[in-house]
Structure 1
Amino acid sequence: MELELELRRSATGPKELRPPGLERRESAPKGWKPRRVLESLKLRRAEISRAAEVVNRVVDHLQRRLQCCQCEFRGTSLLRAGSYYEHVKISAPNEFDVMFTLNIERIQLEEYFDSCAFYFVKLKRNPKGNPLSQFLEGEILSASKMLAQFRKIIKEEIKNIEDTAIALQRKKKGSPAVTLLIKSPMEISVDIILALESKSSWPASTKNGLPIQNWLGVKVRRDLRLQPYYLVPKHAKEGHCFQVSNIDQSENAKMIDRKECLKLMKYLLQQLKKKFENRRELDKFCSYHVKTAFFHICAQDPCDSQWRFKDLEQCFENCVSHFLQCLQTEHLTHYFIPGFNLFSPDKIEKANKEFLLRQIEYERDNGFPVFGEY
């Protein structure tokens, strides 16, 4: 598909802006202090400890319920994921992601209409039986039935958690998460996701994904591909579909300076969504988009010498330029599944991508006023 580059207009007036080209700009953005911004994003140790204690108490209670012998999801393990556990959480420890994983053996995957990332799941015959059999529709495991039962169990069980006020949030369209709002002793949002863990070979669609050979090395990539992958139940028209999910384990000690850029990118999107919270253009953009683009930059710039803290402004500029390029070309390749475009027109409308592109261009060209006075 040919993509046409267009001239954009600034959000503050008729001045024409040069569209972000495929080459990086020579100079970093001026007039702002990235180190001061990062300092403002640091979490206080006392707040972290308090929030983690509250969340762990709730999650441990739910896990005991899921592991009981009467539960359809017995045998689940707890996998804490998300920005807090990856040390890239910003502003406040008020959002947590928790994944309950259920190991499954003897399954067969059938790709959902050449989507690369979505699959029908079939259970192969198991002499010991399978507690998930009750969720079958014909031969296909129903994602919608699994989600409904999982949500029902969580809804019933939070009533039994003492000394903590918890509310079940309304289902988010297209999201596999059961979202809890802990109201006291402090307000915290917890997204709980059920995932099926498979230790078999990764699906064929991931073969050329995880492009870290020049960054972390061939051996690291090979070892990571020996790790389990996860199937997250997602609502599809048929109600059966599962999405392949890979926990981002490609971070290691080499990324300590890189993470500062990721925090700034996440904060940029967060502040823009806050600025335009009464509009709908940014609703479908999330930190996962920023993180995916960031990992592609890490693969393109694999040397630690390219990520020195003294060059923070330029490194951040490179990340911004790459993300703008993804918006402009309407293409953001899934890091693990190269045939899956996170910015395809059927997932995010062109007008919404153009809106975000204009806002980020404006911020970049004006020293990122959305970050505040730093």
Structure 2
Amino acid sequence: MLNNGLHTEDLAAVTQVPQNKMMSTLQMLEELYQNKVDFRAKELNPYRSFAEQVVITVLAEVQNNLRSTDPKISLEPIGTGSSFEGVKVKPDLEFDFMVPIQIIWDQIIFSDENPDIPVCFGLIQIKRPLLQEAKSKWATDIDFIPKFCVQLVRHGHVLSAKEIQQWFQSMCARTLPELNAHFPGINFTFQKSGPARTLVFEYCGKEMNIDIVPAVPYKGVYLVAKVTSHLGEAVWRLSFSTHEKAFFDSLPRNSCYFKCLKILKYLREQDKKICPSSQLTSRCPSYYLKTAFFHQVLQTDNYAWQNYNLERQVKGLLLYLAKCMKQQRLPHIFVGNKELVGRRDLWLRDIPCKFFHFKETNLLKKVKKETLHQISLRLIYIHDHLDMVLQKMCYCPDSLQRYSKLSSVDIRDPTDELVRRAEVVCEMEYVNHHHSHLSFEETEAFCEMEYGEQHGHPSFQEYDFDCQEHKLRQCKILCVIACVVSFIFLLMLLLYMSEY
């Protein structure tokens, strides 16, 4: 038994790969992708088709129960998220749907007109009907406003995301008897998860989760009723889900685009088994990964995403995301992204250009610096020890659950200061439970002292992202020069041979 609680046989399992399974990093990435990450179409499609049937049944029943003063809903739900983008990762079966609702609105107000409105949100201003025009789409509009709107001093009556959300959830909840009758043998329930309700049921031996969100169409994009506590009930969040799906549809399948993002999503999810207090898993949502991937795709040429470059692209995305965390800056894919101005890509079609000119939206603006610091170190650790991480996941996944919070220290070179710092930060959450009176700086110093007593105190050097990028540029330049020289040599050889 080692001093950190890790069994010797477990240590051998993760540090030594069987001789008949010796693989390169690229081969391990491919094996991990094929065996543990990828949701093949023939596996996912039956569940996705069934989810669509369930949602259509729900919406049909909701429509039958609508009152004359209720908004009208579309019976054609829009599938959104990873399950419809081709980047779904095993094992969870989760499906997201937007349901367009018909609302008569006067105008939609964004941050360009009112700087008090958050950049990625909007206010849906409702035009109050005249008393003599009581008969309209709602039959009695005079009842619609007090039921679904809130009044603001500056903007009058605006559609309440909270009221629409609660109304829609209650209408969906009433459909449970019809669902159980329509799909006998399946027990449907609604579970509350934050402000939303999720339809949960078991199908073919596996649990499925479905989220259905009402959305108001606006010039090719949508405003969804997802209430956030710090913004109040009046604002609606901008959604570019249909364009994100179109972006993924535009990527060639015979490349490593999808493999790269899906592997990174899997590494993020599994990191909690390697480091239980990892904030990479708990505080770095998959949308951050998707956003970083989006920026990386736009900044690199297509040839860089050939399948044989999978290792390079995975490591590049790890470093790019780590750099974003270190700099505390990850711009939104669409809102405030001026690099999209003037582009003619099909996946940008129908997006109002004004959104690109908005103030840049930093997704990390309100995330604590300490959290971003720990996430950055975990990403760098995975980058620098990718082979070992892959070995753990490919060859001994069962032993991951038995690792103690310090298990990885003894199987690394203690002189690797980058890893040492990653472990120190990973320890801080554990220490806080036992020394809650300590500040962040005191907690960090305490962890440094505890670690130093066992492993010494080598000096810490910041990870040089700029140096890494400079080396990458140098490699690209050398490759171009080599190609040019080879071409000139071949041309001279052909000229020489033509003379004879």
Task: Compute the TM-score of the two structures, normalised by the length of structure 1.
Answer: 0.75
Q: Work out the percentage of aligned pairs sharing the same amino acid.
A: 21
Mean CA deviation greater in 274-283 or 154-163: 274-283
**Unaligned stretches of 5+ in structure 1?**
1-28, 200-226
State the AA in 2 paired with 1:312.
Answer: L
Q: In the alignment, does 2:215 pair up with 1:195?
A: yes
Residue 34 (structure 2) aligns with: 39
State the AA in 2 paired with 1:135.
Answer: F
Superposition pairs of residues 203-214 of structure 1, within 5 angstroms: none
Alignment equivalent of 1:117, drawn from 116, 120, 123: 120
Query: How many pairs were matched up?
Result: 313
C-alpha offsets along residues 27-82 of structure 1, whole Å, 9 cap, x if unaligned? xx958721111112233555324423432232121121233372524232310111
Q: In the alignment, does 2:381 pair up with 1:362?
A: yes
Q: In the alignment, does 2:164 pair up with 1:170?
A: no
Task: Compute the TM-score of the two structures, normalised by the length of structure 2.
Answer: 0.57
1:323: how far off? 0.6
Q: 2: CA distance between counterparts of 1:197 and 1:274?
A: 41
State the AA in 2 paired with 1:272.
Answer: D
Query: What SS class does the counterpart of residue 109 from structure 2 fall into?
Result: strand
1:307: how far off? 1.1
Structure number with higher helix proportion: 2
1:259: how far off? 1.5
Q: 1: CA distance between counterparts of 2:287 and 2:387?
A: 21
Q: In the alignment, does 2:221 pair up with 1:228?
A: yes
Q: 1:336 to 1:289 in 2, by over 3 A?
A: same
Residue 285 (structure 2) aligns with: 286
- For the aligned residue pairs, the C-alpha RMSD in angstroms reads 2.7
Mean CA deviation greater in 157-166 or 308-317: 157-166
Q: In the alignment, does 2:206 pair up with 1:180?
A: no
C-alpha offsets along residues 341-372 of structure 1, whole Å, 9 cap, x if unaligned? 1111x2x2222212222222211111254441
Q: 2: CA distance between counterparts of 1:30 and 1:305?
A: 20
Q: 1:329 to 1:73 in 2, by over 3 A?
A: same
Superposition pairs of residues 1-374 of structure 1, within 5 angstroms: 30=25, 33-40=28-35, 41-44=37-40, 47-68=43-64, 70-71=66-67, 72-76=70-74, 77-92=76-91, 94-104=93-103, 106-111=105-110, 113-124=116-127, 128-130=136-138, 133=145, 134-138=147-151, 139-162=157-180, 163=184, 164-172=186-194, 177-185=196-204, 186-199=206-219, 227-237=220-230, 238-247=232-241, 248=244, 249-256=246-253, 257=255, 258-273=257-272, 275=274, 282-301=281-300, 303-338=301-336, 339-344=360-365, 346=366, 348-367=367-386, 369-371=388-390, 372-373=393-394
Q: 2: CA distance between counterparts of 1:110 and 1:360?
A: 39
**Greater radius of gyration (CA):** 2
Structure number with higher strand proportion: 1
Query: For the Cα contact (< 8 Å) 1:122–1:141, is it kept in 2?
Result: yes
Q: 2: CA distance between counterparts of 1:267 and 1:159?
A: 37
Query: What SS class does the counterpart of residue 56 from structure 1 fall into?
Result: helix
1:263: how far off? 0.9
Q: 1:55 to 1:291 in 2, by over 3 A?
A: same
Query: What SS class does the counterpart of residue 193 from structure 1 fall into?
Result: strand
**Unaligned stretches of 5+ in structure 2?**
1-23, 152-156, 337-359, 396-500
Q: 2: CA distance between counterparts of 1:274 and 1:101?
A: 39
Q: 1: CA distance between counterparts of 2:197 and 2:387?
A: 35
Instruction: Using CA pairs under 8 Å that are at least 6 residues apart, name the structure with larger relative contact order, 1 or 2.
Output: 1
Q: 1: CA distance between counterparts of 2:201 and 2:125?
A: 36
Residue 408 (structure 2) aligns with: none
